[in-house]
């Protein structure tokens, strides 16, 4: 346990200092005791680092690349005084002769080049041992597509590693080595109770410099950096650089509360903004990879989107909350439970859903086959439905399947409403806009660029599937439903719009 101390400076003792003492007391009373305190940094972390560094490993990988990247040979006139210069630095194939190939120390990206076609590319990252029998955790992007993986330990020993399992969605991978004796191991801690401002320590392999220790604090939590569906990163200012990927982020007890995985850096070096996968996400994924070699995530079978202010008004709910169901996968758990597009999920398995991004993590972390309660708002009324979760990995295969059912013939009229020109979804429209055979609705053939619909990104070739949560199959259906919403005093109307591929989204369009 590392302690962080605060000390009060010695103000000294002098004869006849009663007045001075009185003045000091008054100053403290007026200005606050903080004016007489000095905050020091933490005690040395040397003991903690020494205890943990043996569990942190450097991960080196080798990958065979099919083609060699060549530098174009500059074209110079024969006999030019520059010809000897270029001949000195380029061979006849245009490959550079000079320069240092580099040590490949990065976040699992490309590194050194052995030349030839095919060629070998090396890269370096970090990892840590969680089981003395030889289980190592790292990032998926550190070992992805590697032909050979080697774990380099702090005592100079090296062991070849085999891949147990990996998960691209959380960027985690589990490796196994076969040591002659038990390895130094660390354990996961509780990231959920870590607070902004708590001290943390990172150990890793930045730029190939193994065994590097840095300290800092947790700068923020629950960061979404748009790297995957389950983003919930810990942000830290502990120095993390290329090559730190896969290394541990420790709390003061020496427990792993994060796996360092990404940085924001215009220059390629640390600027004090690094991100770590929290242990609360990593533990479940690691356990599944160790047991099955792959993940077994819960699956609800819905496409969702954020509930914005205008969508909330169109849906008739008092404030933006929950996750709006934009589509329901046919044959999935939600379809079996009778969830519908336009439902707003506000609670899942007893957990309130405040924002859309909370739902995927909760569903994924729930056991496959478990029956959960889903609370939703449907057309202004709240109801709760039981749903038996499926397995995400199987659901993804199901979602890839497409049907060939032909569309019903619709009359060819093209009225205009909301700045949109509407057309029938016939064979000509499907061919013109390259629409999937399974999509249904009313095709948009034109959009007024000055309209509110254009501001929301609606374009020609999109389809209107629903208006105000009512299915529409003809342009006349659209115009009648829009007029009905106007007579009800609505300021905007809710459209369920599909693109050519069948991806659905809700859009609230102002009725001007």
* Catalytically annotated residues: 141, 171, 245
Measuring CA to CA, which residue among 338, 253, 271 is closest to residue 302? Answer: 338
Coil, strand or helix at 427: helix
Element (H, E) at 315: helix 309-315
- Tell me the sheet residues that pair with 466: 471, 496
Q: What are phi and psi of 94, to 5 degrees?
A: 90, 10
Task: Please check whether residue 422 is in contact with residue 447, taking contact to mean a CB–CB distance below 8 angstroms.
Answer: no
- What DSSP line would sit under 188-238, residue for residue? B--STT--TT-EEEEEE-GGG--SEEEEEEEEEEEE--SSSTT--EEEE-S
Neighbours of 176 (CB within 10 A): 17
Instruction: Give CA torsion, residues 437, 439, 443, 448, to 10 deg.
Output: -120
- What DSSP line would sit under 125-178, residue for residue? EEEEEEETTTEEEE-HHHHTT-SEEEEE-TTS-EEEEEEEEEETTTTEEEEE--
Task: Please check whether residue 510 is in contact with residue 452, taking contact to mean a CB–CB distance below 8 angstroms.
Answer: yes
User: How far from chain centre, in Å, is Cα 82?
Assistant: 50
Rounded CA gap, 482 and 368, in Å?
42
Placement of tokens 């093209």 in the chain: 414
List the helix and strand counts (H, then E) for the chain.
Answer: 12, 29
HSE-up (13 A, CA, CB side) for residue 246: 38
Task: Please check whether residue 368 is in contact with residue 390, taking contact to mean a CB–CB distance below 8 angstroms.
Answer: yes
The CA-to-CA distance between both ends of the chain, in Å, stands at: 64
Coil, strand or helix at 344: strand
Neighbours of 369 (CB within 10 A): 12
HSE-up (13 A, CA, CB side) for residue 328: 16
Residue positions counted in the chain: 512
């Amino acid at each position: 346990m590392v302690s962080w101390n605060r000390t009060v400076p010695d103000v000294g003792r002098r004869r006849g200092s009663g007045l001075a003492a009185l003045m000091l007391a008054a100053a403290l009373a007026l200005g606050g005791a903080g004016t007489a305190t000095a905050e020091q940094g933490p005690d040395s972390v040397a003991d903690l680092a020494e205890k943990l560094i043996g569990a942190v490993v450097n991960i080196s990988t080798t990958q065979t690349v099919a083609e060699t990247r060549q530098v174009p040979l500059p074209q110079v006139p024969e006999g030019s005084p520059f010809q000897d210069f270029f001949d000195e630095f380029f061979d006849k194939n245009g490959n550079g002769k000079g320069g240092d190939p580099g040590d490949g120390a990065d976040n699992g990206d490309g590194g050194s080049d052995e030349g030839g076609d095919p060629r070998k590319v090396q890269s370096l990252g970090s990892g840590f041992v969680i089981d003395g029998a030889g289980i190592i955790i790292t990032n998926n992007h550190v070992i992805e597509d590697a032909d050979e993986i080697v774990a380099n330990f702090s005592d100079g020993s090296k062991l070849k590693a085999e891949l147990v399992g990996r998960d691209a969605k959380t960027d985690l991978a589990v490796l196994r080595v076969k040591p002659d004796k038990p390895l130094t191991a660390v354990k996961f801690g509780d990231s959920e109770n870590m607070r902004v401002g708590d001290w943390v320590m990172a150990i890793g392999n930045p730029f190939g410099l193994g065994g590097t220790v840095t300290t800092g604090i947790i700068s923020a939590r629950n960061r979404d950096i748009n790297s995957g569906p389950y983003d919930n990163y810990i942000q830290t200012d502990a120095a993390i650089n290329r090559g730190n990927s896969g290394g541990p982020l420790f709390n003061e007890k020496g427990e792993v509360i994060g796996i360092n995985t990404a940085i924001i850096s215009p220059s390629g070096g640390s600027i004090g903004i690094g991100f770590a996968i929290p242990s609360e996400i990593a533990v479940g994924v690691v356990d599944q990879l160790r047991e099955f070699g792959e993940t077994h995530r819960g699956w609800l079978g819905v496409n969702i989107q954020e509930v914005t202010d205008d969508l909330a008004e169109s849906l008739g709910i008092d404030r933006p909350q929950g996750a709006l169901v934009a589509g329901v996968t046919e044959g999935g758990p939600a379809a079996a439970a009778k969830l519908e597009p336009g439902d707003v999920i506000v609670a899942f398995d007893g957990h309130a859903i405040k924002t859309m991004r909370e739902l995927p993590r909760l569903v994924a972390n729930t056991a496959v086959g478990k029956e959960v309660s889903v609370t939703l708002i449907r057309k202004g009324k709240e109801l709760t439905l039981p749903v038996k979760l499926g397995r995400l990995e199987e659901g993804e295969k199901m979602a890839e399947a497409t049907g060939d059912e032909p569309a019903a013939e619709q009359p060819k009229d093209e009225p205009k409403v909301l700045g949109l020109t509407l057309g029938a979804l016939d064979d000509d429209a499907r061919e013109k806009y390259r629409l999937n055979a399974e999509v249904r609705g009313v095709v948009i053939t034109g959009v007024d660029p000055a309209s509110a619909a254009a501001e929301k990104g609606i374009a020609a070739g999109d389809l209107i599937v629903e208006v105000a949560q009512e299915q529409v199959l003809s342009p006349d259906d659209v115009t009648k439903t829009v007029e009905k919403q106007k007579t009800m005093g609505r300021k905007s109307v809710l459209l369920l719009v599909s693109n050519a591929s069948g991806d659905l989204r809700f859009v609230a369009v102002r009725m001007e």
